[in-house]
Chains A and B, each alone.
Chain A
Amino acid sequence: MPFNQKPQKFNAKINSVTIGSGDKTVTIGGDSTFPFYTFDAPSENCPKIGVEISDMGLEGVSEGIKAYYDGASTMADIAKKAAAMEGADFVALILEGGDPNGENKSIDELIAVVKEVADAVDCPLVVEGCKNVEKDAELLPKVAEVLQGRNALILSEKEENYKAIGAAAGLAYNQIVGAESAVDINLAKQLNVVTTQLGVDPKKIVMNIGSAAAGYGYEYVVSTMDRIKGAALGQNDNMLQMPIITPVSAETWGVKEATASEADMPEWGPQDERGIDMEIMTAAADLAAGSDAVILRHPESVKTISKMIKALV
C-alpha cells in the first residue's frame, strides 16, 4: 500500500500587502498554507527580508556590521549600502534616538533623517518609531506625512496610540499601518479590529505580533504565531489574516549571547559570530512559525536567511 499523502487545503489566505511605489515594490503575505508547506499548495509569495538601519548611525553595532558599512558617513550612505545588501528586499529605519529615556532627539531632527533616507533609496521603506507610545503618537504621523507617495509601512501603532498613528498612516497619508501587539493572539486581533474601525483598509495592515530572541520566552512567540495562522487559514478569521512582520534584530542584538565581549566570555568565541547565529536562528524560527517578513541587521544573516527562503520555496 503506497503512502497516501493528504494535503491540507485551506479556503482562506493571508492578505497580500504591497509596500513601496513605482517599480520598486515588495509584496508580503499571500500564502494559503502554513509556512513553507509547498507540498500542500505552491507558495505564491515567499517571505521577505528587511535590513534595519538606525537614526543613531553605526553606534553600538557589531564589528561585522560596522565593516560592511565601512566608508558610509551619512545616513544616506548607510541607507544605500543597506538597500544594496545581498538578499535585501526593503530597508527598515528605526528611529530609536527619539526615545525620551535615551537620546531624546527632537521630532524635527528625526524627520530630517527620514527624509535623507527616503531621498537616498528608492526601495520599499519601513519606518519604526522609538517605542515610546507618547513620542511615537507625535512622531509617526509626521513620518507618514513626509513619506507621502512612498506607500511605506509605518511601525508601529499600539493599543495606546492607534488612533493617532492608524488615522495618519492609514487614512490621511495612505501608508501601510503596522499594528504592534505583545505576543498574544487576542491583543493582536483586538488591535486589528479597532484599527479597521477607524476606517483603515484591512488589506493595508501588517501585524507585528511581538517577538523574542531564541531562548527568551520564545515559546510564546511560537504558540501565538501558530494560533494566528491556524485561525487565519483554518477558521477564515479575516481579522487575523494580515501578514506578519517581525523585527528580529532589535531583540537578538540586545541579549547577552550577542553583547558579551569575547574578553568577558572567552569560551564563547567571537562575539560577531554569536550575534549572527542568534539573529539567523531566531529569524529562521520566526519564519517557520509564520512571519511573512523579518527585519535583520547583519549582512551575513540577511544573506543566509535569503538563501534558506530560496531553498524552501
Chain B
Amino acid sequence: MALNGIQIFKLTPKKNCKECGCPTCMAFAMKVAQGAMQIEQCPHMSEDALATLSEATAPPMKTIKIGTGDGEFTLGGETVLYRHEKTFVSKTRYAVSLCTGMSDAEVEAKLAEIPVVDYERIGERMHVELVYVNCGADADAAKYTALVEKAKGLGRTLILGCTDPEIAKAALEVCKDSKPVLNGANASNYEAMNAVATEAGVVLGVSGKDINELYDTTAALEKLGNKNLILDTTGADAKETFANTVLVRRAALKDQDRTFGYPSLVNLVKIAQGDKHLQAALAALFTMKYGSIVVMEEMTYAEALPLYGLRQNVFTDPQKPMKVEPGIYPLNGADENSLVVTTVDFALTYFVVSGELERSGVPLNFVINDAGGLSVLTSWAAGKFSGTSISEFIKENVEPKVKCRKLVIPGKVAVLKGDLEAKLPGWEIIVGPREAVQLVKFLKDMQA
C-alpha cells in the first residue's frame, strides 16, 4: 500500500536540515507522498526506513524496458485498470511469430511480410515492433540459433520463446546486445533460465501450467533476486488466457499484490493457431484488456489498420486530445483550383469531417490549422479558431499554393464569416453545414 505523508514523516529523521531543499521534513514527506520527490533525496534516512519506504512507495506494477535504440520499448508501469481513472502509460506491443517448425520458404515469406506494414498515423509510427522466435520441441541449438540470426536481420526487438537453458544460452550469444526477451522460465527450469537471463542481462519471461504455478514461479524468481520479468499469461485456451491476463493485472493494481506487478505476454499463436480472424478478434480484446505484448501469426495491413488505430485510441491520454498536423490535405484528387474547406485540428473532428468529404467525391483542399486540439465550438470560444488564426494560416500557407479563392467554414462558426471576409480580401467565404453528416449533400448541392 502507498503511504501517506504522515506515515512517511514518521520515518524521516525529523531534523529539518533543509538539505533536501524542503523547509521541513514534513514538507518533504508530503512531496514524497505525492510523488513529486524521491525518498532518496533525503541524505539522512536510515537503512531500515529506506527499506520500508522503498517497498511501500514502489509502484504497484514494474516498468520493464526491452530492446535498444529505436527498438527500445517500455512495458508495464500502469497504475489504473480503466483509462478514465488516469491514463494508460505503456502501449500494447505486437509481435509476429516465427518457429523452428516452419519451412525455410515459410520463414522467408514471414521475414518479407513483417516490414511491409510501416506507416504513420497521427504522428505515431505503426509497425510490427517485435518478432517472436519460437523454439519447437525437436529443434537443436544450431537450428534455433540460425533462425534467431535470420530474425535478427529485420532489426526488430526479439522475443526468444525457448525453454531449454542450453539452447537459450546459445541463441542469446548472437542477439543479447539488442536486449531481447527470453521467454522460457517455468516451474521446472526457472533456476537455470534465471542464470542464463541474468548473465545475458535480458528480461526473463515466466509461465506456469496455471495461474497458481505462474505465481509461485514468479515468487521463486524474485527470491533469486530477479525482478526483470514478464509474465506469459497464455493458458490452454482463450478463456483461461483472458482470466490469467485480467487476474494478474487486477491483483497487481487493485489488490497491491506485487508478485504479479509485471507486464504480460499473450501468445495468440498458441490459442488460435491457423485462425487469423479469431486472432484479430483476440488481439483487439487483449489490447483493451491488459496484454503488454501480443504475439500473432501475421500482421498485414488488414489487421494493422484497425488494431493500431484501436491501440492509439485506448492509450491516448484522456487529458490531452489527439491532434492532427496542420497543413493542406488534398482529397479526392484535388489540385490548386479545388475548393478550400477548413476545420479544427482535433483528431476526432478531422476524421469525421475528412471521412464525409471523401465520401462526397468532390475534389477539395482540406485545410487544418493549429486550434489547440479542441472541437470547433470549444476552440472558437477559446480564441484558437478565430478570424485571425484562420486568415493568417490561409495567407501564409494556402495562398501561395492554391489558386481557388473559395473557403468553406464550419456552420457552427458562421459568425466568423464577416471577420474572414474583411481579413481575406478576394476570398469568398461560404458557411458550411453545422454537422459533418450534412457535408455530402451540401457539397453536391454546391456543385449543382
Contacts and interface: CB of A to CB of B under 8 A. Distances in A.
Interface size class on chain A is: 35 or more
B277 A277 contact: yes
B310 A269 contact: no
Contact of B313 (A217, A269, A280, A308): A217
B172 to A, nearest CB: 30
A82 to B, nearest CB: 19
Nearest to A289: B288
Contacts of A287: 285
A278 B216 contact: no
Interface in A257-313: 257, 259, 267-270, 273-274, 276-278, 280-285, 287-289, 300-301, 303-305, 307-308, 311-313
Contacts of B246: 37, 39
A288 B312 contact: no
B306 A214 contact: yes
Interface in B210-226: 211-212, 214-216, 219
Contacts of A289: 288
Contact of B116 (A6, A219, A267, A274): A267
Given A280-B281, A305-B281, A308-B278, A101 B438 contact: yes
Interface stretch (B17-25, B138-146, B236-244): B236-244
Given A2-B216, A215-B305, A288-B289, A223 B438 contact: no
A37 B309 CA distance: 25
B283 interface: yes
Interface stretch (B295-303, B366-374, B379-387): B295-303
A215 B250 contact: no
B288 A222 contact: yes
A202 B406 CA distance: 51
Nearest to B282: A308
Interface in B265-321: 275, 277-278, 280-285, 287-289, 300-303, 305-310, 312-314, 316, 318
Interface size class on chain B is: 35 or more
Contacts of A257: 305-306, 309
B355 interface: yes
Contacts of B83: 219, 222-223, 226
Given A227-B82, A307-B275, 10 more contacts: A8-B254, A39-B247, A214-B306, A216-B309, A218-B314, A227-B84, A257-B306, A259-B358, A268-B301, A270-B302
Interface of A: 1-6, 8, 36-39, 101, 213-220, 222-223, 226-227, 230, 252, 254-257, 259, 267-270, 273-274, 276-278, 280-285, 287-289, 300-301, 303-305, 307-308, 311-313
26 contacts: A3-B259, A5-B247, A37-B246, A38-B239, A214-B284, A214-B307, A214-B309, A215-B310, A215-B351, A217-B351, A222-B314, A223-B82, A252-B306, A256-B358, A267-B301, A268-B301, A274-B302, A276-B302, A277-B307, A281-B310, A282-B310, A285-B287, A287-B285, A311-B237, A311-B239, A313-B239
